[in-house]
Amino acid sequence: MAELHLAVALDGAGWHPAAWRLPHARPAELSTAAYWVDLVQEAERGLLDFVTIEDAVSIQSSTRSGPDGRVDQVRGRLDAVLIAARVAPTTTHVGLVPTATVTHTEPFHVSKSIATLDHVSSGRAGWRPVLSARADEAGHFGRRPAPDLDREVADLFDEAGDFVEVVRRLWDSWEDDAEIRDVATGRFIDRDKLHYVDFEGRWFSVRGPSITPRPPQGQPVVAALAHVAPAYAFAARHADLVFVTPTSDADAAAMVGQVPGVAQVFGDLVVLLDDDERTAHARKAQLDELAGRELVSDAEIFVGTPAQLADLLVARRSTGLTGFRLRPAALPDDLLAITGRLVPELQRRGLFRTAYAETSLRGRLGLERPANRYASA
């Protein structure tokens, strides 16, 4: 049986809103480099494929309509791309997939940021594009009104698709051997190997080329989270990797069918782990009591032992999922349970690597390095 792919999604003190109040949490350090370095290095010790880092252009909220005014949950975050760039030199293998918003921003800026991350990580970068649809988010920029979600959802996804296409073209706007660096002749670049992308669309008009040489992977991995039909269509067309949120095997099979042609489809799970199932449920009850409500999520919430989670992952993989992105409910506790207990359990079953092999994130995910669309045959 082929090995599983396994990633973790990092967000603040964890995916449970009360996680910051636990004894092992580090709420005073959430805005420090050391906190993020420690988490990602732990993920690398666990031989995980990659980490994702959450981000948005609005403050966290328990509602989708805007800020909720709560003061009992983590609020405020660092820029995910900058976190990844800071962490990159402290790691050597684990992939780094930050979130960056496509609404209210420019593809030129995102293209060079992710290309830079790919260079400084020696080919381990990815990017998760997300939409921005809230009125308070639009108010941060003042350049466009908030969309009418009853009428403009399709437009938002079409714009996101064009955004990703422009970014991909800019990554290709330098050929791999455009940099000559010939001291004897005084030629640093071959100008004929830099290309105008000349993208003209409804939302963007971008000439190019980029100011950043082509990334080591050629195209860093583009990942998308899909819940609804327009998101599935966007992911199937533009992403290398899709995250879905099934709550059953039947759900998982149906969601895999929504993104035909995508090589990697990962199932998302919020996880709260302990060596004893009863203790795991007691931990969740404690967190729910601190939060004043039971945990809810767009993804399935798993509470139990690492061995039970391994059973679930093995069973659900039969639906066509190629891997899983786990969202630790509390950091660092549930991350340590993943790396220290779940990974060894999967290794004992012959389902997870015992050492890193491939050096690039694309290679680890079985994705070929794409040819440059502008290079001569």
User: Each residue of 104-119: pLDDT tens digit?
Assistant: 899 999 999 999 999 9
Q: Please check whether residue 175 is in contact with residue 374, taking contact to mean a CB–CB distance below 8 angstroms.
A: yes
Look at the chain and count its residues. Answer: 377
Instruction: Give the residue-averaged pLDDT of 123-133.
Output: 94
| Letter string b/e over residues 198-208, b meaning 16 or more CB atoms within 10 A of that residue's CB | ebeeeeeebeb
E-strand ranges in the chain read 5-10, 50-53, 95-101, 126-130, 179-182, 187-189, 199-200, 205-206, 221-225, 241-244, 264-273, 300-304, 323-328
Answer whether residue 147 shows pLDDT above 80.
Answer: no
Answer whether residue 151 shows pLDDT above 90.
Answer: no
CA–CA distance, 95 with 48 (Å, rounded to integer): 8
CA–CA distance, 17 with 9 (Å, rounded to integer): 15
Distance from chain centroid for Cα 37 = 17
Which pLDDT tens digit goes with each residue over 239-285?
Answer: 999 999 999 999 999 999 999 999 999 999 999 999 999 999 999 99
String of DSSP letters for 68-125: ---SSS------HHHHHHHHGGG-SSSEEEEEEE-TTS-HHHHHHHHHHHHHHTTS-B
| Range name among 138-147, 201-210, 290-299 with the lowest pLDDT average | 138-147
Distance linking the first and last C-alpha atoms of the chain? 39
CA–CA distance, 25 with 22 (Å, rounded to integer): 5
Which pLDDT tens digit goes with each residue over 236-250?
Answer: 999 999 999 999 999
Instruction: Give the residue-averaged pLDDT of 91-98.
Output: 98
CA–CA distance, 241 with 266 (Å, rounded to integer): 7
Instruction: Give the residue-averaged pLDDT of 32-46.
Output: 98
Answer whether residue 89 shows pLDDT above 90.
Answer: yes
Q: For the chain, give the percent of residues with pLDDT over 70.
A: 98
Task: Please report which confidence band the pLDDT of residue 138 belongs to, taking 50, 70 and 90 as the band edges.
Answer: confident
| Domain 5-364, CATH | 3.20.20.30
Q: Please check whether residue 207 is in contact with residue 197, taking contact to mean a CB–CB distance below 8 angstroms.
A: yes
How many CB atoms are closer than 10 A to CB 317? Answer: 20
As beta bridge partners, residue 325 has 7, 268
Write down the pTM of the prediction: 0.96
Task: Please report which confidence band the pLDDT of residue 134 belongs to, taking 50, 70 and 90 as the band edges.
Answer: confident
Instruction: Give the residue-averaged pLDDT of 363-373.
Output: 97
Answer whether residue 133 shows pLDDT above 80.
Answer: no
Task: Output the pLDDT for position 165.
Answer: 98
Hey, CA dihedral for 154, 158, 160, 161, is it positive or negative?
A: positive
Answer whether residue 309 shows pLDDT above 60.
Answer: yes
Average pLDDT, the chain: 95
Amino acid identity of 235? A
Contacts of 240 (CB under 8 A, 6+ apart): 219, 221, 222, 223, 262, 263, 264, 362, 365, 367
Answer whether residue 377 shows pLDDT above 60.
Answer: no
State how far the alpha carbon of 142 is from the alpha carbons of 7, 16, 154, 275, in Å.
Answer: 36, 32, 22, 50
Answer whether residue 148 shows pLDDT above 80.
Answer: no
Instruction: Give the residue-averaged pLDDT of 155-163.
Output: 95
Instruction: Give the residue-averaged pLDDT of 224-230.
Output: 95
3-state secondary structure of 264: strand
Answer whether residue 150 shows pLDDT above 70.
Answer: no
Answer whether residue 69 shows pLDDT above 90.
Answer: no
CA–CA distance, 220 with 277 (Å, rounded to integer): 39
Answer whether residue 225 shows pLDDT above 80.
Answer: yes
Instruction: Give the residue-averaged pLDDT of 31-59.
Output: 97
CA–CA distance, 214 with 207 (Å, rounded to integer): 16
Task: Output the pLDDT for position 282.
Answer: 98
